[in-house]
Amino acid sequence: MPFKALSSGARRRDGEMMTESTAAFARRIPKVEMHVHLEGSMQPDTLLRLARKHHVDIGADTVHDVESLYGYTDFLHFLEVYQMSTQVLRDAEDFALITYEFLRNQAAQNVRYSEVMVSLSDHLIRGIDAETVMQGILEGQRRGEHDFKTRMAVILDAGRQWPDLVPQVQQVAARYAGRGVIGFGIGGDEANFPPELFTDEFAAAREAGLRLTCHAGEVAGADSMWGAIALGAERLGHGVHAHDDPTLYAELRSRRVALDMCPVSNVRTGAIPTLHAHPIRRYLEDGLLVTVNSDDPPMFGTSIANEYRALAEDLGLERAQIAEIALNGIRASFLPQDEKQRMEAEFRTAMGRLDE
Write down the pLDDT at residue 227.
97
Neighbouring C-alpha atoms within 13 Å toward the C-beta of 3: 26
**DSSP reduced 3-state for 9:** coil
d(CA 161, CA 39): 17
Handedness of CA 253, 311, 145, 300 (dihedral sign): positive
5 or 227, which is more confident: 227
pLDDT > 90? residue 17:
no
Predicted TM-score (pTM) of this structure: 0.92
pLDDT, one tens digit per residue, over 23-43 is 778 788 999 999 999 999 999
For the chain, the C-alpha Rg in angstroms (whole number) is 19
pLDDT, one tens digit per residue, over 240-280 is 999 999 999 999 999 999 999 999 999 999 999 999 999 99
Share of the chain above pLDDT 70, in %: 94
At residue 200, φ and ψ (nearest 5 deg) are -65, -40
d(CA 213, CA 293): 15
Compute the C-alpha angle 57/58/59, nearest 5°.
95
Q: What is the mean pLDDT of residues 220-238?
A: 97
pLDDT > 90? residue 337:
yes
**DSSP reduced 3-state for 187:** strand
DSSP bridge partners of 291: 260
Query: Pairing relation of β-strands 151-159 and 111-118?
Result: parallel
pLDDT, one tens digit per residue, over 37-82 is 999 999 999 999 999 999 999 999 999 999 999 988 889 999 999 9
Write down the pLDDT at residue 19.
52
Q: What is the mean pLDDT of residues 200-204?
A: 98
pLDDT > 80? residue 12:
no
* Domains of the chain and any CATH numbers: 20-36+113-127+154-354 (3.20.20.140)
pLDDT, one tens digit per residue, over 92-142 is 999 999 999 999 999 999 999 999 999 999 999 999 999 999 999 999 999
Q: Supply the mean pLDDT for the chain.
A: 92
355 or 275, which is more confident: 275
Give a three-class secondary structure readout of 206-275.
HHCCCEEEEEECCCCCHHHHHHHHHCCCCEEEECCCHHHCHHHHHHHHHHCCEEEECHHHHHHCCCCCCH
Residue 16: pLDDT band by 50, 70, 90 thresholds?
Answer: very low
Write down the pLDDT at residue 27.
80
Catalytic positions are 218
